[in-house]
Amino acid sequence: MTERQVQDALRASVGDRYPRLATFAELLADQGVLRGLIGPREVPRLWERHIANSAAVEPYLPATGTVVDVGTGAGLPGVVLACLRPDQHVVLLEPMERRTTWLEEVVARLELTSAEVVRARAEEMHGRLEAAAVTARAVAPMDRLARWTLPLVETGGVLVALKGSRAADEVAEARAVIARLGGAEPEVLQATPVPGVAPTTVVRVRKVRETRPVAPKGRRRR
- What CATH number belongs to 3-206? 3.40.50.150
Residue 219: predicted pLDDT: 47
Residue 220: predicted pLDDT: 44
Q: Report which of 209, 143, 129 is spatially closest to residue 176, judged by C-alpha positions.
A: 143
Q: Which residues of the chain have pLDDT under 70?
A: 212-222
Q: What pTM did the predictor assign?
A: 0.92
User: Sign of the C-alpha dihedral, residues 136, 138, 142, 144?
Assistant: negative
Domain locations in the chain as residue ranges: 3-206
